């Protein structure tokens, strides 16, 4: 395995080893791109809820703060609502609200209006290793209440800590929870309310995949991104491409071929490697500089004639591709196509900032900018 | 029904023939589909969309549907389907979300018929209704399924699965209105085409995405699904709740599954990653594929049976840009290569062994489990297939039980507890351990200890106890040990098949005659001791003290009253004090058999001693000095033998007892390995004390430091309660002496006793004296100290 790593001059700061910097210290000319998207008040929120000790804070720490799963054992239980605004470091332009397990909804001080309005997704975490009857009651209560306030919320249920269960047990648990919740919702005349179930664990990448799906549902640009990726990979001879949010290692889009866990894990690991190497060798003498910027790119050749290819797309996004060595011979073509792809992505997000009317008309244009003839003659 | 009959006649008239063949495509294929009469196949991929005619021995390209100068994204196909009723009708699913139909009957070059761009994201699957000409169903990444009437410009109905991306949609073969859809979150839904608002039924089929599903062509209730969890499951949908009836575990995530025509239990699968082969499974035998096609060099993306009533032709397209026709008769049969023998241990040491029936019956030595005549052996017969020559497999399963005693490790625990490893003279330790071993009915070990004593005791001290009985009937105990050895090695080689109850008894029966012989010998000897010169000679050592005698007595199991007899013999022995021992003899022996294993070597070294004792009077053979190091190679081999046999206890015990005598002979790594294994075993049996003793006695530096690394002593100052630095007895912080005796005001360096009430205390002796005179605390705190 060889790593080619290009690192530019850097400006910024990096202090905590093993966790990601809050800000990347990007060049000033890019600042406008994401900064003016929205003010924090109307950012969609992701709420993390669930009974106490079900693993909410662990999820948040592992996914967004790069905490190692084993360290979460020492997390104190949360006792107040913990708002985490990760938009400054992550593409995911959301706030994660970590609710303490013992929030009492009947408490008049609990402002459900305020909480659920403007919430994009409500993630309810159920501890699968525990008896979940109580959790289901709580889920029903939470969900029906939130639905009354804001019917547009995506309700996501994480059946968490499944690392301790056997495969059969997992599926049985999922089936059981699905059955019970739907029966209850039907009884309460809330058939319209739809719950998505995910089996998750912080000890593998299932939590990242589940979070990816939650985030993807909240992205209006997803179909466009997916199409762009489809076009990009079919014109460049790439097997699989992910558009990653670098901080959280959530993939906000991928091409339409099925996601294979191993490939995803490989790509996650690659991001880790790149950021770590960059932290060690890419920073200035005085520790200033940042680990990820415009020039970041990396190529890792695996011994099974596969190449991993990482390129910076925007301040927070990276494209990670898996391709065969033969295809990588046409590196120029790939670079060119990537250039088009990157431009298109930028346009997509600029469109996102335009008023609603302009959006749909310009969305479709982006896909057609490829000159990438597959046979390589274009280069 | 009328259509169906036409199909079969079509098959009859143009009887399909062909061979295994392939052709190169220009680009990787994503999906393939055949037309109804099995004469043409369409291949679709991101950069390819072509129709090939299937001829006798080759593929012939008939038509390229990707026409036009500027390739549109609508050509980038994720899936393709050829209508099974209408020969000219094709549908493709595009990665940009378009559903396109093609009419081959069009006169123009561009055959594109209709274009539906209703899906926002990639369409993963299109499916024509099996009997309805104009009905097309699509399933997309955006989570919707749409039903199109090809006579209209837009979809007729939209089905929202509400559970992520749709990976596959399939019309039921038998139920006109029903279709199944599989989803990325592991669900499978059943829909009625007339009712778009809500699914009829939903169940979770897999953990992770379900990539494919296929209805059984004949059995209306059966649905096969395959997913990322590497499983193919067959569901019975006729019952109220979908019931899993078969489950096949594959080695990679399942991309496609197709029932084999005319074979009720067969289905073909291909995988999405890693594995390039196509497997045909018999779902009743889920552990080994029925047949395998191994032609592709990259992931197989599309499989289809060439004709819906012909099970012999399979077509497949792959990412390696090839299109194959596989003949079923050319498939590899993994069953043929499979090893039909299986062996498995049960939780309690039971052993199940399955082997080809012929193998078992031919070997008359192997007696199957005696009680199992009714139940065992069980014969598995695979019913001979009419059309296929499936390997006829019948196997017999034998189950062997071990009785619990033979398997229990009591002997290990007892031995560990009773063995003496230090603290006594060497010979005594050996004798003690030999006795322990014998009492635990381990004569071989016992003999080994005795041998060791003989070999390494001071040569002048060489009064081998066992020779005493050996003088007359010496060969018998030897026989005994030989038998033991044979049996042990035999057990290893024959994979302990016959470790039935009989074995331990066999053990005993071997043992008991030996023991009784020994004791008989003893009695004989004791009786004749006074007069028998040979026997007297055996005790040719005046320096034997009482201890030695004592141990000898243990060894020979004589009663204490007869103890005096040997002492008489001692005096006699003085006269023949400087009898030579028999090293030359031994050396010859050794030279004769240089390759003997440790155990045999020991035994052979006995022989000369014995022989000398028989002829001793006339021809003394011993030289006075017998170098102990001479035996080292033998002992080393013996130790390795024990360690390899699994009795690391013996190896370590001998190592410790022999100490310096043998240590240099064995390399440190081996020693360390033995030590750690033994310590590990001891700790598993919770024999902490023994384990600690072993650690303490070991001479390996890596082992002795174990105690130091795992033990931490935290010393806190008794005054200020803070941790003491390790310098001296004065606490850095409060500058006072820690643990001062309340009576003499000196630092206590040995045993410190204190009252838990007031924390004052001091030298045990001082406090004890103090308490004789006063019940109050010597420190003057006024506490009424209580010591228990």
User: A154: nearest CA in chain B?
Assistant: B162
Q: What is the CATH topology of the domain spanning B18-336?
A: Methylamine Dehydrogenase; Chain H (2.130.10)
Return the minimum-mean-pLDDT range out of A331-340, B271-280, B511-520, B685-694. Answer: B511-520
Q: In this structure, are A142 and A170 located in the same domain?
A: yes
Split at pLDDT 50, 70, 90, the class of A103 is low
Count, in order, helices (H) and strands (E) of chain B. Answer: 22, 34
Query: Per the domain annotation, does A169 fall within a domain?
Result: yes
pTM: 0.62
| Token reading at B568 | 């008489």
Q: Which residues of B touch A261 (CB under 8 A)?
A: 208, 228
A198 and A127 inside one domain: yes
pLDDT at B234: 93
Looking up residue A175, the CATH number of its domain turns out to be 3.40.50.300
Distance from CA of A178 to the nearest CA of B (A): 9
Residues of A with CB under 8 A from a CB of B: 167, 170-171, 174-175, 178, 191, 194, 196-199, 213, 222-223, 226-227, 230-231, 234, 255-256, 258-263, 367, 374
pLDDT for position B787 = 72
Cα–chain-centroid distance for residue B96? 48
Are A68 and A211 found together in one domain? Answer: yes
CA angle B140, B145, B146 (to 5 degrees): 115
Specify the pLDDT at position A139. Answer: 87
DSSP string covering B347-376, please?
TTS-EEEEEEHHHHHH-TT-PPPGGGTTTS
Whether B95 has its CB under 8 Å from any CB of chain A: the answer is yes
Q: What is the C-alpha separation between B316 and B34, in angstroms, rounded?
A: 11
Residues sharing a CB contact under 8 Å with residue A133, sequence separation 6 or more, in sequence order = none
Q: What is the mean pLDDT of residues A257-264?
A: 87
Q: What is the pLDDT of residue B233?
A: 93
Q: Is the pLDDT of residue B379 over 60?
A: no
Please, what is the average pLDDT of chain B?
A: 73
Flag whether residue B178 sits within 8 Å of chain A, measured between CB atoms: no
**Structural domain boundaries, residue A126:** 45-103+110-218
Q: Which of B206, B200, B201 minimizes the C-alpha distance to B183?
A: B206
**Inter-chain residue contact B142 with A178, CB threshold 8 Å:** no
pLDDT confidence bin for A89, thresholds 50/70/90: low
The answer to whether residues A68 and A206 belong to one domain is: yes
Q: Which residue has the higher pLDDT, A75 or B497?
A: A75
Alpha carbon distance B670, A283 (integer Å): 48
What torsion, rounded to 10 degrees, do the Cα atoms B668, B672, B673, B677 define? 160
The last residue of a domain, from among A201, A218, A235: A218
Distance between CA A48 and CA A122 in Å, rounded?
Answer: 6
pLDDT at A18 over 80: no
Residue B319 has pLDDT above 60, yes or no: yes
What's the ipTM? Answer: 0.79
* Contact between chains at A178 and B253 (C-beta distance less than 8 A): no
What's the pLDDT band for B465 if we cut at 50, 70, 90?
A: very low
pLDDT digits 0-9 by tens, B398-450: 887 766 555 567 778 888 888 888 888 888 888 888 888 888 888 888 888 88
pLDDT of the residue at B280? 92
Give me the pLDDT at residue B639, please: 85
- pLDDT band at residue A91 using 50, 70 and 90 as cut-offs: low
Q: Domain check: are A341 and A247 in the same one?
A: yes
Q: Name which of B95, B229, B272 is nearest A258 (Cβ-Cβ).
A: B272
B679-688 residue pLDDT tens:
888 888 888 8
Q: Would you say residue B526 has pLDDT above 60?
A: no
- Is residue B52's pLDDT more than 50? yes
How far apart are the CA of A181 and the nearest CA of chain B, in angstroms? 14
Tell me which of A226, A366, A376 to substitute to probe the interface with B (most B C-beta atoms closer than 10 Å): A226
Q: Do B273 and A171 touch (CB under 8 A)?
A: no
Tell me the mean pLDDT in the region A357-379. Answer: 39
Asked whether the beta carbons of residue B207 and residue A198 sit closer than 8 angstroms, the reply is: no
Same-domain check for residues A207 and A243 = no
Nearest Cβ partner of A260 from B185, B198, B253?
B253
A contacts of B184 (beta carbons < 8 Å): 258
Number of folded domains in chain A?
2
The yes-or-no verdict on residue B703 having pLDDT over 80 is no
Task: Give me the phi and psi of A121, to 5 degrees please.
Answer: -140, 140
**Inter-chain touch B228–A171, beta carbons under 8 Å:** no
Please tell me whether residues A115 and A195 are part of one structural domain.
Answer: yes
List of chain B residues whose C-beta atoms are within 8 Å of the C-beta of residue A230? 76, 95-96, 122
Using alpha carbons, select from A223, A351, A141, A260 the residue that is nearest to residue B208.
Answer: A260
Q: Is residue A357 part of a domain?
A: no
Band of the pLDDT at B585, cuts 50, 70, 90? very low
Q: Specify the pLDDT at position B86.
A: 85
A11 in any annotated domain: no
Domain membership of residue A20 (yes or no) is no
Q: Is residue A16 part of a domain?
A: no
Q: Is the same domain home to A96 and A152? A: yes
* pLDDT above 90 coverage of chain B, percent: 13
Among A158, A186, A218, the domain boundary falls at A218
Domain ranges within chain B, ordered by starting residue: 18-336, 339-364+374-401, 413-456+628-707, 715-787
Q: What is the CATH number of the domain that holds A230?
A: 3.30.450.190
Query: pLDDT, tens digit, for every residue of A185-202?
Result: 888 888 788 888 899 999
Chain-chain contact of A258 with B46 (C-beta, under 8 angstroms)? no
Which position has the higher pLDDT, B11 or A307? A307
How confident is the model over A216-229, as pLDDT tens digits? 888 888 888 888 99
Say whether pLDDT at A296 is over 90.
no
Residue whose entry in the numeric block shows the structure tokens 């008239």: B13
- Whether A364 shows a pLDDT value over 90: the answer reads no
Instruction: Determine which of A258, A344, A366 to mutate to test the interface with B (most B C-beta atoms within 10 Å).
Output: A258
Residue B268 has pLDDT above 90, yes or no: yes
A122 is a domain residue: yes
Q: Are residues A71 and A191 in the same domain?
A: yes
Is A105 or B619 the better-scoring residue by pLDDT?
Answer: A105
pLDDT-based confidence at A105, cuts 50/70/90? low
For residue A117, tell me if it sits in a domain: yes
The shortest C-alpha distance from B121 to chain A (Å) reads 5
Q: Do A175 and B229 touch (CB under 8 A)?
A: no
- HSE of B260, CA atoms in CB hemisphere, 13 A: 20
Length of chain B as a residue count: 788
Fold of B715-787: Herpes Virus-1 (3.30.40)
Q: Find chain A residues with C-beta within 8 A of B228's C-beta.
A: 258, 260-261
Domain boundary among A171, A188, A218: A218
Q: Are B687 and B419 in contact (CB under 8 A)?
A: no
Give the pair of three-digit tokens for residue A286: 């005085």
Strands B210-215, B21-24: parallel, antiparallel or unpaired by DSSP?
unpaired
Residues A194 and A262 in one domain: no
Radius of gyration of chain B (CA): 43
A81 shares its domain with A160: yes
Residue B720 has pLDDT above 60, yes or no: yes
Q: B504 or A249: whose pLDDT is higher?
A: A249
Do A211 and A249 belong to one domain? no
Greater confidence (A379 vs B474) lies with B474
């Amino acid at each position: 395995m060889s790593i080619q790593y290009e690192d530019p001059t850097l400006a910024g700061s990096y202090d905590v080893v093993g966790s990601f910097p809050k800000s990347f210290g990007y060049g000033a000319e890019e600042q406008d791109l994401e900064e003016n998207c929205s003010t924090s008040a109307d950012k969609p929120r992701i709420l993390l809820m669930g009974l106490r000790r079900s693993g909410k804070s662990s999820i948040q720490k592992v996914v967004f703060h790069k905490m190692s799963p084993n360290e979460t054992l020492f997390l104190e239980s949360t006792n107040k609502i913990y708002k985490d605004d990760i938009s400054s470091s992550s593409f995911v332009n959301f706030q994660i609200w970590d609710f303490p397990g013992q929030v009492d909804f009947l408490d008049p001080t609990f402002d459900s209006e305020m909480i659920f309005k403007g919430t994009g997704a409500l993630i309810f975490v159920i501890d699968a290793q525990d008896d979940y009857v109580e959790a289901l009651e709580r889920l029903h209560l939470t969900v029906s209440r939130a639905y009354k306030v804001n019917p547009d919320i995506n309700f996501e249920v994480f059946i968490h800590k499944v690392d301790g269960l056997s495969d059969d047990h997992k599926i049985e648990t999922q089936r059981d929870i699905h059955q019970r919740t739907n029966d209850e919702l039907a009884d309460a005349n809330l058939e319209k309310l739809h719950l998505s179930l995910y089996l998750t664990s912080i000890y593998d990448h299932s939590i990242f995949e589940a979070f990816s799906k939650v985030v993807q549902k909240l992205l209006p640009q997803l179909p466009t991104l997916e199409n762009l990726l489809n076009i990009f990979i079919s014109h460049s001879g790439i097997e699989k491409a992910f558009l990653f949010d670098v901080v959280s290692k959530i993939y906000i889009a991928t091409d339409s071929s099925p996601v294979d866990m191993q490939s995803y894990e490989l790509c996650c690991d690659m991001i880790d490697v790149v950021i770590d190497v960059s932290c060690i060798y890419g920073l200035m003498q005085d520790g200033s500089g940042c680990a990820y910027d415009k020039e970041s790119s990396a190529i890792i050749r695996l011994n099974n004639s596969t190449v991993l290819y990482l390129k910076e797309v925007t301040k927070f996004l990276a494209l990670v591709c898996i391709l065969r060595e033969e295809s990588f011979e046409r590196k120029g073509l790939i670079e060119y196509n990537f250039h088009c792809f990157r431009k298109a992505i930028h346009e997509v997000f600029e469109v996102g900032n335009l008023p609603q009317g302009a959006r749909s008309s310009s969305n479709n244009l982006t896909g057609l900018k490829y000159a990438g003839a597959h046979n390589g003659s274009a280069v | 029904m009328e259509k169906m009959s036409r199909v079969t006649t079509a098959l009859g008239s143009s009887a399909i023939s062909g061979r295994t063949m392939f052709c190169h495509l220009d680009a990787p294929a994503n999906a393939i589909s055949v037309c109804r009469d099995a004469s043409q196949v369409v291949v679709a991929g991101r950069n390819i969309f072509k129709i090939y005619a299937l001829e006798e021995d080759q593929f012939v390209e008939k038509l390229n549907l990707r026409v036009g100068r500027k390739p549109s994204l609508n050509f980038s196909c994720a899936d393709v389907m050829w209508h099974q009723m209408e020969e000219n009708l094709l549908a493709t699913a595009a990665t940009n979300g378009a559903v396109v139909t093609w009419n081959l009957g069009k006169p123009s070059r561009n055959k594109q018929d209709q274009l539906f761009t209703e899906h926002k994201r990639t369409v993963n699957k299109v499916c024509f209704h099996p009997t309805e000409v104009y009905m097309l169903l699509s399933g997309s990444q955006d989570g919707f399924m749409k039903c199109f009437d090809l006579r209209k410009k837009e979809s007729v109905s939209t089905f929202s699965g509400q559970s992520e991306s749709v990976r596959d949609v399939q019309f039921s073969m038998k139920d006109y209105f029903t279709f199944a859809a599989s989803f990325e979150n592991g669900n499978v839904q059943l829909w009625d085409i007339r009712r778009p608002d809500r699914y009829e039924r939903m169940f979770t089929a897999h953990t992770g995405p379900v990539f494919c599903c296929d209805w059984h062509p004949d059995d209306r209730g059966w649905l096969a699904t395959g997913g990322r969890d590497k499983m193919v499951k067959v569901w019975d949908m006729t019952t109220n709740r979908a019931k899993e009836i078969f489950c096949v575990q594959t080695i990679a995530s399942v991309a496609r599954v197709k029932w084999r025509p005319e074979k009720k239990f067969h289905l073909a699968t291909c995988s999405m990653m890693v594995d390039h082969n196509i497997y045909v499974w018999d779902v009743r035998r889920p552990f080994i594929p029925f047949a395998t096609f191994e032609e592709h060099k990259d992931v197989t993306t599309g499989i289809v049976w060439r004709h819906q009533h012909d099970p012999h032709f399979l077509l497949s397209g792959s990412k390696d840009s090839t299109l194959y026709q596989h003949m079923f008769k050319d498939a590899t049969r993994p069953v043929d290569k499979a090893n039909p023998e299986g062996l498995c241990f049960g939780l309690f040491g039971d052993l199940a062994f399955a082997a080809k029936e012929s193998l078992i019956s031919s070997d008359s030595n192997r007696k199957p489990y005696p009680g199992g005549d009714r139940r065992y052996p069980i014969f598995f017969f695979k019913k001979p297939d009419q059309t296929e020559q499936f390997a006829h497999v019948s196997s017999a399963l034998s189950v062997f039980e071990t009785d619990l005693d033979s398997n229990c490790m009591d002997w290990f625990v007892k031995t560990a507890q009773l063995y003496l490893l230090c603290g006594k003279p060497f010979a005594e330790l050996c004798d003690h351990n030999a006795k322990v071993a014998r009492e635990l009915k381990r004569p071989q070990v016992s003999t080994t200890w005795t041998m060791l004593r003989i070999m390494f005791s001071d040569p002048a001290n060489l009064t081998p106890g066992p020779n005493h009985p050996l003088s007359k009937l010496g060969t018998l105990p030897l026989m005994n040990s030989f038998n033991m050895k044979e049996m042990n090695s035999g057990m290893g080689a024959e994979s302990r098949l016959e470790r039935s109850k009989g074995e331990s008894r066999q053990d005993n029966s071997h043992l008991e005659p030996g023991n009784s012989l020994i004791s008989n010998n003893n009695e004989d000897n004791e009786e004749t001791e006074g007069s028998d010169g040979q026997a007297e000679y055996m005790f040719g050592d005046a320096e034997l003290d009482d201890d030695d005698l004592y141990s000898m007595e243990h060894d020979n199991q004589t009663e204490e009253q007869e103890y005096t007899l040997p002492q008489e013999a001692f005096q006699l022995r003085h006269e023949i004090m400087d009898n030579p021992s028999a090293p030359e003899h031994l050396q010859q022996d050794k030279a004769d058999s240089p390759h003997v294993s440790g155990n045999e070597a020991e035994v052979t070294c006995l022989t000369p001693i014995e022989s000398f004792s028989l002829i001793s009077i006339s021809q003394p053979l011993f030289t006075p000095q017998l170098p102990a190091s001479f035996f080292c190679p033998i002992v080393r081999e013996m130790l390795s033998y024990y360690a390899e046999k699994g009795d690391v206890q013996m190896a370590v015990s001998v190592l410790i007892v022999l100490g310096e005598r043998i240590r240099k002979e064995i390399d440190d790594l081996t020693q360390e390995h033995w030590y750690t294994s033994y310590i590990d075993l001891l700790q598993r049996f919770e024999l902490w004390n023994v384990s600690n003793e072993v650690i303490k006695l070991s001479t390996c530096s890596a082992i002795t430091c174990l105690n130091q690394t795992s033990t931490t002593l935290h010393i806190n100052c008794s005054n200020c309660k803070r941790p003491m630095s390790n310098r001296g007895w004065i606490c850095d912080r409060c500058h006072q002496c820690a643990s001062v005796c309340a009576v003499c005001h000196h630092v206590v360096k040995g045993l410190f006793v204190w009252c838990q009430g007031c924390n004052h205390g001091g030298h045990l002796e001082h406090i004890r004296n103090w308490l004789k005179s006063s019940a109050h605390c010597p420190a003057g705190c006024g506490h009424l100290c209580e010591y228990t």
